[in-house]
Structure 1
Amino acid sequence: MPFTATTCRAATCRAAAAGLLVAAALTLATGCHGAPGKGGDSSVTAVSPAPAPPVPDDGNPPRGRGGRVACTPEMLRFHAGALPRRERRMLLTVTNFSRRTCDFAAQRYPLLRFGNDRQPALPAIGASRPLHVVSLAPNDTAYATITTSAAGRPGGTGHRGRKISQFGVALAARATPTQVGLDGRAPVHVDPHTARVTYWQPCLDAARKW
């Protein structure tokens, strides 16, 4: 039976309300399970927004598993730039500026290409896969970390690599990549043969782990 003013005493209702508040706080605290540390800085100063057109609300976005709405480029603003205080790392963020909640159930990591579309997308870092599918409510943001080359070798093992100022991001297989420019347009040295990308992460602390 639900709690109402007529079915419980004032003291009982206060205790129930306190319990609900505690449960909500625990849900928020564990919403990014596995993120390193607590109280991390949620701001991203190394990236800047790219202009994007508004999304009409009378369309029919594609449905993912279980009838959920799949995130599409038209619903998102993309950001890309160096990850502060981390060598050989870039940060990709997507913010849902539509009025619908969407998720990445169909494709749980971004498909990135540094060059032409004939090259295969970057492999994902398997250990970075979250326990749950990342879902974006309106104005929410998801994150993915990109390792630009193999450890200890700026150009990657056996490859010279290249400098890039933008790259392609696709949210589904066989989809046309969206070109995302780097913050400040400063070129970044990338070796597409050894670069990797994480799965979408629900918070910045989780993305910084990689």
Structure 2
Amino acid sequence: MLPLAACQTGGAEQAEPVSSDVSPATSPSAAPDTWAAPGAPGTRTRVACTPDMLRFHAGAEQHPARHMLLTVTNVSDRTCTFAGQPYPLLRLSDRHPAAARPIARSKPRTPVELRPDGTAYATVTTAAPDRPGGRSAPGSKAEKISQFGVTLADRSDPAQVGVDGRAPVPVDPATARVTYWQRSLADAEKW
């Protein structure tokens, strides 16, 4: 069963535009932010994480109710990196096809790498609160979901991830945000 994180917002969340870049295929180990051509002399290459290498899992928070924890585990036998797409592209609603925007302050110093059987985390804030108690903003277009789509590159087919726990979960796709991939549950719990 998925451990549930106690997420805290601590103020206004900053978001940045959703990336439309497609993940490059390899990265040198000495500089994970810099991509090199496969087989370049003197470099050891790492592959970009792809859906077939990963298993996704999502759990809803019991309190506060406006958070979900997305967990991804590398089920392949190769180390992969999220350098090309450092946060998950979430499609939370068919009526709102745009991906949830990332929380800029959650960006780690270096892209997350996943060794075989390694796990990374992302926290999803399902609505932007404007009042104490986490109530959604007036005029919210919240809808209840029990699954959502996750992609690792723009213009690719999403993997459908079911939500465990308190499903269906109320989500406002227009104001929902997602963190960058985090290396540990403790890092994800900060958001």
Give the residue type in structure 2 aligned to 1:63. T
Report which of the two has the higher share of strand: 2
CA deviations 1:74-118 (Å, max 9, x no partner) are 111110011354441100000001100001010000000112287
Report which of the two has the higher share of helix: 1
Matching residue of 2:101: 123
Q: 2:126 aligns with which of 126, 136, 148?
A: 148
In 1, the alpha carbon distance for the partners of 2:187 and 2:46 equals: 24
In 2, the alpha carbon distance for the partners of 1:175 and 1:185 equals: 29
Where do residues 61-100 of structure 1 align in structure 2 (5 Å cutoff)? 62-63=25-26, 65-66=35-36, 67-83=45-61, 85-100=63-78
**SS of alignment partner, residue 169 of structure 1:** strand
Structure 1's 128 and 111: CA in aligned 2 closer, same or farther, altered over 3 A? same
Runs of 4+, deviation exceeding 3 Å: 61-64, 83-87, 152-157
Between structure 1 and structure 2, the one with the greater Rg is: 1
Compare relative contact order (CA 8 Å, sep 6+) and give the higher one, 1 or 2: 2
Identify which range, 171-180 or 145-154, moves more after superposition. 145-154
Unmatched 5+ residue regions in structure 2?
6-23, 28-34, 37-44
Unmatched 5+ residue regions in structure 1?
1-42, 48-60
Q: Is the 8 A contact 1:95 1:141 kept in 2?
A: yes
Q: Is the 8 A contact 2:62 2:166 kept in 1?
A: no
Give aligned pairs, total.
155
Matching residue of 2:117: 139
Give the residue type in structure 2 aligned to 1:93. T
With structure 1 as the length reference, what TM-score do the two structures score? 0.67
In 1, the alpha carbon distance for the partners of 2:63 and 2:142 equals: 22
C-alpha root-mean-square deviation of aligned residues, in Å?
2.3
